[in-house]
A = this chain, B = another copy of it.
Amino acid sequence: VNPSAPDPSLPIAVFDSGVGGLTVLHECLVSLPEEDYLYLGDDARFPYGAKSDAELRECSERNTRYLVDRGAKLIVIACNSAASAGLETAREIAAGSGVEVVAVIEPEAEIAAAITDSGRVGVLATRATVEGGAYLRALGRQHRELTVTQVAAPDLAAIIQRGFPFSESVVETVRSYCAPLRRAYVDTVILGCTHYPLVAPMLQRFLGRQVRLVTAGHALAATAQRLLESGGIAAPDTEEGSYRFLCTGNPASFRELGTRFLQLPLGDVELVDLRT
């Protein structure tokens, strides 16, 4: 037992600028049901995708500091923008309390590199993520030669966020995004935006059944489990854990939209003020 390790009975804290990260929490709730969770949706500053790197570092620092102070044994950054720009900052903040930080991007890249047979990997992500190249860099660090095909899906997250995603226009949009991935004969596709798991079956149909989809939630849940075990901070009992929600903007709309992303009831959403 590491004497500086956090208390195993503390929750795992997850943050994002909105509801997208709830698909990550969803996977954690299913994969690690005995853990407690604390989710922070920084919806007063949604979307992070429109912010500068300096702003993102500031958001990541503030969120991490708040969650560590409130009590968390592990921080999960469930937002691509915050992960790209703010992971190092968050790690520095959390390290002072012996808390580790994991974030999207690297875990998906690790899993994709581990499971691809052909070495041809696709990345479907927002335009900002594709242009930022974070997945390309992460895949480049995987000690394996990979051929990566990136596809920017400019409308997909907004379509999913707007509402019920099973319309003909969504189908056509998703089909068009899948076409270049099919032509590249990828056998593994990283869903590089936390909104996309909500249309995973549709993507699977258009990509073909042999293509493996890697979601941030799945990858992060696996990484979190590994860290909890290696750090000796897994939940002390096997009872089902609890989960609760904080947001910085509008609890009512966060709750309504969030239920669809979590696929579980949210219960009360607490409004917190993180301006300081």
The interface of chain A, by Cβ under 8 A from chain B, is: 26, 29-33, 164, 166-168, 170-171, 175, 201-202, 204-206, 208-209, 240, 259-260, 262-265, 267
With a cutoff of 8 Å between Cβ atoms, the chain B residues found around residue A164 in the complex are 259
Interface centre among A31, A167, A209 (most CB of B within 10 A): A209
A-B CB contact pairs (8 Å), 15 listed = A30-B201, A30-B209, A31-B209, A32-B209, A33-B206, A33-B209, A166-B259, A166-B265, A167-B265, A168-B265, A168-B267, A175-B240, A201-B264, A202-B263, A206-B240
Q: How far is the CB of A257 from chain B (nearest CB, A)?
A: 12
Per CB-CB distance, the 7 closest pairs between chain A and chain B, nearest first, are A33-B205, A30-B204, A30-B205, A168-B265, A31-B209, A166-B259, A30-B201
Which secondary structure dominates chain A's binding surface?
Answer: helix
Q: A30-B201, A30-B209, A167-B265 are in contact. List 12 more A-B contacts (CB 8 A).
A: A26-B201, A30-B204, A30-B205, A32-B209, A33-B205, A166-B260, A166-B263, A166-B264, A166-B265, A171-B265, A205-B240, A205-B264
CA gap between A201 and B221 in the complex, in Å: 14
CA distance A274 to B240 in the complex (A): 49
